[in-house]
Amino acid sequence: MASFLLHGIPVSRGIAIGRAHLLTPAALDVKHYLVPEEQVEAEVRRLQDAIAAVHHNLQELWAGLPKDAPTELGAFIDVHALILSDPMISEAPLDIIRARHYNAEWALVTQIDELSAQFDEIEDPYLRERKYDIQQVAERVLKVLTGTALSVAPVFADEDQPPPQMIVVAHDISPADMLAFRDRSFIGFVTDVGGQNSHTAIVARSLDIPAVVGMDQASRLVEQDDWLIVDGDAGVVICNPSQLVLEQYRARQITMAKARKRLLKLKKTPAITRDGTTITLLANIELPDDCPAALEAGANGVGLFRSEFLFMGRGAQALRIPDEEEQFEQYRKAVLAMKGRPVTIRTLDVGADKPLDQTDHTALNPALGLRAIRYCLAEPQMFLVQLRAILRASAFGKVRILIPMLAHAFEIDQTLGMIEQAKIQLRDEKIRFDEGIEVGAMIEIPAAALALPLFVRRMDFLSIGTNDLIQYLLAIDRVDYEVAHLYNPLHPAVLQLIASTIATGHKAGLDVAVCGEMAGDVKLTRLLLGMGLREFSMHPAQLLAVKQEILNTDLGVVTTRTRRILRAMEPGEIASAVEQLQTL
């Protein structure tokens, strides 16, 4: 068979070598026909029965969860059950059948297409990719309607023999479906859709399985049982590789396995540079249940708790607001799990269209519209509920509040006023909280970085969100594949703005962290250290590799080299100098 290579988005590191196992999705290109008037209610019942069958299947999956299954899997099953129960899935298609006489499959797909279009307008990539959860739930219902088995795991002829190592290839994979592979030789996966923040990517990282997503045509080009190499570091999949290529990648696997074993020995080693400077390494989390992985990796605390997880995945009717008690319990759970280490909770950071607000407003440019702190200040009651919940959790351990997307002094002042209002209410109610809780600003808008004195006078700490800072500074939509190649963290303007933010913050006596993707990129660790960064926050899986780089760094040497890099303007010169930093 001919060998060929595919490129996608790397979401979970490592190399997997095995046979392709193709998952055939319930085709969204379903049959379209009109149901006679006298058969409409029968068609309604057919869809209702299919939804009930999927509910039962999800309950079975939940009941059968192995004890060592990642907590994310149970959470995602709950999310899918909530989506399935939402009227936008469980009732709206029934109305379509009754009003338009569509067959059940057509009615369901019509509704899913409409919901997906709404999610496409959301600017925040994490939330935008939640449309895939809705599509995955719909596929499960379609499988029942079309008579396709819900089980996705392959059946092997001889159960006494170990099954071949397999790499799942699919248009998309539901986290619930991934459970079917838990106890089999599931060593990697490839999908046509998805991104860095998709649920599939999150589960892949939690399982530490090599994965590449966003490959577009992989499920059509790869055939059943093809030999595959998944390079989760480079975002490359090689189909039917030559023997020479196979041997090269197997050698790399052995080398990487040895390197990982060495990294594990660093768990309890303090992150101290060769010349004796202590560096703080924090974890980014989406769920309170991510805390054990953060502790296992040796994190000094949580540098970014993305609280929007509590507001999303609550049904297909876009975002619903959890009440104060629910939020409080989740924040407290994270604080207790971190056993005295600090937990930095970022307030709600969602996009600009209408997932939380049920009006017909649609932002002309969501990236520049009503999002993050702008949205929270426009919805003060919702914001006050979240602030009260966070403050209450601060009675159980070290908590810091992080405010996203600040650009103006009046936004800071209004936010601090809201926090004080929440404190007054809790004092009146005699509810305990940390009176000295620190409040920090996300520096992710160029205007904030350029007017930093406004921020350091008002805030207790700073956290640089490099993902958005680069996006806004270079006018690049990082999820738009047509311009994604222009997204460059080594652009001289980006480097100078980050360096000046770190320097200004430290001069004012404030802690400064980087919590974007740059913090977890080992190729940039020494560059950030040379800029003066002493606090990194990243996905727990990246922490030990970054720690190893820190332990091997002489700050005096890299600081001198970094100053030269910051004076450079030519892209080639900068890239070459950053590479040389890694060899020091």
Q: pTM of the entire structure?
A: 0.69
**CA 451 – CA 461 distance, rounded (Å):** 15
**CA 38 – CA 27 distance, rounded (Å):** 27
Q: What is the DSSP letter of 3?
A: -
Q: Which of 460, 458, 447 is nearest to 407 (CA)?
A: 447
Q: Which of 193, 186, 205, 215 is nearest to 12 (CA)?
A: 205
Q: Given 21, 199, 239, 291, which residue is catalytic?
A: 199
- Confidence at residue 425, expressed as pLDDT on a 0 to 100 scale: 98
Helix, coil or strand: residue 19: strand
List the single range of 128-137, 355-364, 452-461 with lowest mean pLDDT.
Answer: 355-364
Q: What is the DSSP letter of 269?
A: S
Give the 3-state secondary structure of 412-434: HHHHHHHHHHHHHHHHHCCCCCC
- Confidence at residue 309, expressed as pLDDT on a 0 to 100 scale: 74
| Domain 37-146 coded CATH 1.10.274.10 | yes
Q: Which two tokens stand for residue 512?
A: 């400064």
List the single range of 226-235, 318-327, 562-571 with lowest mean pLDDT.
Answer: 318-327
Tell me, yes or no, if 32 is annotated catalytic.
Answer: no
Radius of gyration, CA atoms only, the chain:
25
Q: Given 171, 376, 515, 539, which residue is catalytic?
A: 515
- Confidence at residue 335, expressed as pLDDT on a 0 to 100 scale: 97
Q: Which two tokens stand for residue 181?
A: 């592979």
CA atoms 357, 474, 487, 542: torsion sign: negative
Q: What is the mean pLDDT of the chain?
A: 85
Residues 6+ apart with CB under 8 A from 390: 327, 331, 345, 347, 399, 401
- Confidence at residue 361, expressed as pLDDT on a 0 to 100 scale: 43
Please indicate whether residue 181 or residue 399 has the higher confidence score (pLDDT). 399
Structurally, what CATH architecture does the domain formed by 4-23+152-261 represent?
Answer: 3-Layer(bba) Sandwich (3.50)
Q: Which two tokens stand for residue 307?
A: 């609280």
**CA 39 – CA 83 distance, rounded (Å):** 27
In one letter, which amino acid is 29?
D
List the single range of 161-175, 259-273, 285-299, 533-547 with lowest mean pLDDT.
Answer: 161-175
For residues 12-38, give the mean pLDDT. Answer: 78
pLDDT tens for each residue of 467-500? 889 989 999 876 555 666 687 899 999 999 999 9
Q: Which of 69, 284, 268 is nearest to 179 (CA)?
A: 69
Helix, coil or strand: residue 346: strand
Q: Which two tokens stand for residue 548?
A: 């190893």
Tell me, yes or no, if 291 is annotated catalytic.
Answer: no
**CA 348 – CA 372 distance, rounded (Å):** 6
Angle at 133 between CA 466 and CA 539, to 5 degrees: 30
Please check whether residue 20 is in contact with residue 223, taking contact to mean a CB–CB distance below 8 angstroms: yes
Fold topology of 265-581: TIM Barrel (3.20.20)
pLDDT band at 69 (very low <50, low <70, confident <90, very high): low
- List the domain boundaries for the chain: 4-23+152-261, 37-146, 265-581
- Confidence at residue 24, expressed as pLDDT on a 0 to 100 scale: 61
Maximum Cα–Cα distance across the chain: 82
Secondary element (H or E) of residue 231: strand 227-231
Whether residue 367 is predicted with pLDDT greater than 70 in this model: the reply is no
pLDDT band at 25 (very low <50, low <70, confident <90, very high): low
Q: What is the DSSP letter of 272?
A: B
Q: Which of 584, 14, 535, 483 is nearest to 259 (CA)?
A: 14
- Confidence at residue 157, expressed as pLDDT on a 0 to 100 scale: 44
- Confidence at residue 126, expressed as pLDDT on a 0 to 100 scale: 64
List the single range of 90-94, 450-454, 476-480, 492-496 with lowest mean pLDDT.
Answer: 476-480
- Confidence at residue 114, expressed as pLDDT on a 0 to 100 scale: 84
DSSP conformation letters of 145-202: HHT--S--S---S-TTSPPPPEEEEES---HHHHGGGTTTTEEEEEESS--TTSHHHH
Please indicate whether residue 177 or residue 208 has the higher confidence score (pLDDT). 208
